Chain A
C-alpha cells in the first residue's frame, strides 16, 4: 500500500516529467542537424524550384504556368516523358529480374564459394558510374568499337550502338542494367537466405517443381524486399543523369533524352534556368505516384501480417 506523502508524489511526477521532457528535447536536438540539412538543402531548393518554374527566361517576370504551357506544346517534351518512363521501367524490370535470377544461382552454390562470386558480381556497382560509362562509351565507339570488332569477326557486321535511335536506347538501358543489377543481387540474396528451408521442403513434398516453388514460396516471402528495391531503383533510375550524359548526351536527335539530361541542356546549356527547372519538376509527380502506390502496398501487407 503505497500511501505516498504528497510531496514525494509530486516530486516523483515532477521528476518523471522532467525526465520525459529532457529525453524528448535531447532526441530532437540529436535529429536537428538532419532536419536543418533537409530543410535548407532539399526542401527549400525544391520549393524554390517551383518558384523558378514560374518565371520567364531572364527571371525578371512572373509568368505563372507559362513555362508548363510552353512545354506541353512541344513534341520533344512528350518524347522525353515517354523516353524517361520507358527507360526507367524497362531498366528496373531487367535489373530486378537479373538480380533475382543471379541471387538464385549464387544461392545454389556451396556457401563457402559464394563470397568470392558475390564479390566479383558486385564490382559494377562499386565503380563510379562516370568511369565505367566511359569504358562503355569506348566499347560502343563508331570507329573503334571492340564489340563491333567481334561482330565483324563472326561475320555479323557492325552495330550502330550509339547512332541509331533504338540501338542507342538499348545501349543506355544495357549500361544501366549492368550498373544496377548487382544491387538487386545483393538484396535478393540476403532475402533468399532468410526464407526458411522447411517451406521449400513442404512444397517439394507436395510435388512442386522448381518454378512452382519460386512462385508459391519465394516470391511471396520476398514481396516486401522486392517492392522496396523496385521503388528505390525506379526513383534512382528515373532521375539518372551520368549514363545518358556521357554515352549519348541525349542523342541521336534527342531520342535518348531523359528528364535530367534535358533539364541540363535547356537550363544550363541553353541558359534558360526556369525552363530547366520546369522540366525537372516534372519528375516529382511521377515519382510521387509510383512511391505512393508501392508504399501503400507495403503497409497494406504489413497490416495483413
Chain B
C-alpha cells in the first residue's frame, strides 16, 4: 500500500517541491505559538519582562515549575486532592464512555430493530449541540438528580458523548457480517460476540474514543455543576493560579505547557489509530 502510494500518477516534482514549501511555511506558523509557550515556560523572570520582548529563552530555568509546585503545596485544598479528582473524572469518564458507546454502537451498526434509524439520526443531529446551548436545562436535570457538587455530574454525561458514539458506530459498520454470523452458528451469544470478536477488531476506534474523551475531561474545570473547592479538578486549580495576573506570567506559561503537553503527547502516540478511525467518519 505504502509502496504504490509513492508512485502517484499525474505528479510533477516541481509541484511536490512547491507543496512542501507551502506546507512547511504553514506548519511553522502553526507551531510558532506552541514553541513560544515552551520558551516562555522556561524563561527566568527577568527575561519574561524584557524590553523589547524576546521570543526565545536565553538562560532556561525550571523556576516557573518550581514556583508552580510551591503555590500548589500552599493552597488550602491539598494539590493531591485536585489531582485525585481529575484522575477519577478522566478514568471513570473514559472507561464508561468506551464501554457504553461501544455497546450501543454495536447494535446500532450490526442489528436491525425498531427505532434504530431514528436513534441514529438523533445522535448525528446532536453532533451539532454545543454544551453551552443546553447548559441551563442541564443544570435543572442535575439538581433534580441531586448531582450538583458531585463528580457524577461531570463523569456520567461524558459517557454519552455523541461524537464518540458516532465514530464508533461508523467504524463498526465495516466489520464483515459474515464474521458475526459464523460466531452465532458456533453458538456464541451476543455478549461473547461483542467482547471477544467485535471489541478486539475495533481497537483503533476505542483508542480514538479514549483520546477524545480524555481531551474533553482533562480540560474540564468542573465549573458548571461543582462548586465545592475540594471537589474541583486539577485544571481548575491550575487556572486559578495562572489567572492571578502579570506577576504569575511565568507560572501561567508553565501551566499552559503542562495542560497542552498531555493531550498532544497522547495524540502523537496514537495518531495512526485515530486517523484509521476517522476514515470511516463519513455521513451519507
Co-assembled chains A and B: no
User: CB within 8 Å of B: which residues of A?
Assistant: none
> What is the interface of chain B, defined by CB distance below 8 A to chain A?
none
